Protein backbone atom coordinates (compact mmCIF):
# COMPACT_ATOMS: atom_id res chain seq x y z
CA UNK A 1 0.00 0.00 0.00
CA UNK A 2 1.24 3.48 -0.79
CA UNK A 3 2.00 5.74 2.17
CA UNK A 4 -0.90 7.91 3.29
CA UNK A 5 -0.67 11.68 3.35
CA UNK A 6 -3.28 14.40 3.81
CA UNK A 7 -2.60 15.99 0.42
CA UNK A 8 -3.79 12.95 -1.51
CA UNK A 9 -5.70 10.69 0.91
CA UNK A 10 -9.45 10.84 0.41
CA UNK A 11 -11.86 10.12 3.24
CA UNK A 12 -13.16 7.16 1.24
CA UNK A 13 -9.64 5.79 0.91
CA UNK A 14 -9.04 6.08 4.65
CA UNK A 15 -12.38 4.47 5.38
CA UNK A 16 -11.45 1.48 3.22
CA UNK A 17 -8.17 1.01 5.07
CA UNK A 18 -9.93 1.06 8.43
CA UNK A 19 -12.68 -1.29 7.25
CA UNK A 20 -10.17 -3.74 5.80
CA UNK A 21 -8.27 -3.76 9.10
CA UNK A 22 -11.45 -4.64 11.01
CA UNK A 23 -12.62 -7.23 8.49
CA UNK A 24 -9.31 -9.09 8.41
CA UNK A 25 -9.70 -9.58 12.16
CA UNK A 26 -13.44 -10.35 12.04
CA UNK A 27 -14.00 -7.37 14.32
CA UNK A 28 -17.10 -5.99 12.66
CA UNK A 29 -19.17 -8.06 15.10
CA UNK A 30 -17.93 -5.77 17.91
CA UNK A 31 -18.28 -2.54 15.95
CA UNK A 32 -21.76 -1.42 16.83
CA UNK A 33 -22.45 2.34 16.85
CA UNK A 34 -22.65 2.15 20.65
CA UNK A 35 -19.29 0.45 21.08
CA UNK A 36 -17.56 2.68 18.55
CA UNK A 37 -18.91 5.84 20.20
CA UNK A 38 -17.53 4.59 23.53
CA UNK A 39 -14.15 3.73 22.05
CA UNK A 40 -13.99 7.12 20.37
CA UNK A 41 -14.81 8.92 23.63
CA UNK A 42 -12.24 6.87 25.55
CA UNK A 43 -9.54 7.75 23.02
CA UNK A 44 -10.56 11.41 23.14
CA UNK A 45 -10.03 11.24 26.90
CA UNK A 46 -6.55 9.82 26.39
CA UNK A 47 -5.69 12.61 23.95
CA UNK A 48 -6.87 15.18 26.49
CA UNK A 49 -4.68 13.70 29.22
CA UNK A 50 -1.61 15.04 27.46
CA UNK A 51 -2.83 18.57 28.12
CA UNK A 52 -4.44 18.24 31.54
CA UNK A 53 -2.47 20.54 33.79
CA UNK A 54 -0.82 22.86 31.28
CA UNK A 55 -2.13 26.31 30.56
CA UNK A 56 -3.79 26.69 27.19
CA UNK A 57 -1.02 29.02 25.95
CA UNK A 58 1.66 26.43 26.83
CA UNK A 59 -0.19 23.46 25.44
CA UNK A 60 1.79 23.26 22.19
CA UNK A 61 4.88 22.37 24.25
CA UNK A 62 4.23 18.60 24.37
CA UNK A 63 3.98 18.63 20.56
CA UNK A 64 7.57 19.92 20.38
CA UNK A 65 8.90 16.90 22.29
CA UNK A 66 9.36 14.03 19.77
CA UNK A 67 8.42 11.22 22.18
CA UNK A 68 5.29 13.02 23.39
CA UNK A 69 4.43 14.12 19.87
CA UNK A 70 4.41 10.53 18.70
CA UNK A 71 2.00 9.58 21.49
CA UNK A 72 -0.25 12.53 20.71
CA UNK A 73 -0.24 11.66 17.00
CA UNK A 74 -1.21 8.10 17.95
CA UNK A 75 -4.10 9.36 20.09
CA UNK A 76 -5.54 11.70 17.46
CA UNK A 77 -5.14 8.90 14.90
CA UNK A 78 -7.11 6.55 17.18
CA UNK A 79 -9.88 9.12 17.50
CA UNK A 80 -10.16 9.53 13.73
CA UNK A 81 -9.87 5.78 13.07
CA UNK A 82 -12.91 5.21 15.29
CA UNK A 83 -14.73 8.11 13.62
CA UNK A 84 -14.05 6.57 10.21
CA UNK A 85 -15.24 3.15 11.36
CA UNK A 86 -18.33 4.76 12.90
CA UNK A 87 -19.02 6.26 9.47
CA UNK A 88 -18.44 2.86 7.86
CA UNK A 89 -20.88 1.09 10.16
CA UNK A 90 -23.44 3.88 10.10
CA UNK A 91 -23.26 4.42 6.36
CA UNK A 92 -22.46 8.09 6.89
CA UNK A 93 -20.75 10.25 4.28
CA UNK A 94 -18.39 11.98 6.66
CA UNK A 95 -17.21 14.78 4.34
CA UNK A 96 -20.82 15.55 3.46
CA UNK A 97 -21.74 15.58 7.17
CA UNK A 98 -18.82 17.95 7.85
CA UNK A 99 -19.94 20.24 5.04
CA UNK A 100 -23.50 20.25 6.39
CA UNK A 101 -22.32 20.94 9.95
CA UNK A 102 -20.02 23.77 8.86
CA UNK A 103 -22.99 25.34 7.05
CA UNK A 104 -25.08 25.11 10.23
CA UNK A 105 -22.24 26.53 12.29
CA UNK A 106 -21.86 29.40 9.81
CA UNK A 107 -25.54 30.26 10.33
CA UNK A 108 -25.21 30.07 14.13
CA UNK A 109 -21.93 31.99 14.15
CA UNK A 110 -22.12 34.67 11.45
CA UNK A 111 -18.70 36.22 10.88
CA UNK A 112 -19.71 39.74 11.86
CA UNK A 113 -21.14 38.62 15.23
CA UNK A 114 -18.76 35.83 16.14
CA UNK A 115 -15.44 37.41 15.16
CA UNK A 116 -12.98 37.24 18.05
CA UNK A 117 -15.56 35.91 20.48
CA UNK A 118 -15.54 32.55 22.29
CA UNK A 119 -19.17 32.98 23.37
CA UNK A 120 -21.71 30.31 22.62
CA UNK A 121 -24.14 31.24 19.84
CA UNK A 122 -26.96 31.44 22.38
CA UNK A 123 -25.09 34.28 24.06
CA UNK A 124 -23.89 36.22 21.01
Question: Which residues 21-40 are close enough to bind a second copy by CB under 8 A?
Answer: 21, 24-27, 29-30, 32-35, 37-40
Q: Is 124 in the site for a second copy (CB under 8 A)?
A: no
Which of 75, 9, 65, 69 is closest to 40 using CA atoms? 75
Q: Is the four-CA dihedral 63, 118, 109, 100 of positive or negative sign? A: positive
- Is 89 in contact with 32 (CB distance < 8 Å)? yes
CB of 76 to a second copy, least distance (A): 6
Contact string 35-74 vs a second copy (x = CB under 8 A): x-xxxxxx-xxxxxxxxxxxxxx-xx-xx--------xxx
Query: Considering the complex, what minimum distance in angstroms separates the CB of residue 25 from a second copy?
Result: 5
With CB under 8 A as the contact rule, the residue among 66, 67, 91, 122 that binds a second copy is 91
Contact 19, 88 (CB under 8 A): yes
Amino acid sequence: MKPLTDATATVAGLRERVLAFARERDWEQFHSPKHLSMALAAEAGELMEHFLWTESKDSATPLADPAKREKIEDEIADVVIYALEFANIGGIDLAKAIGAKLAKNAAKYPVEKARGSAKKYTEL
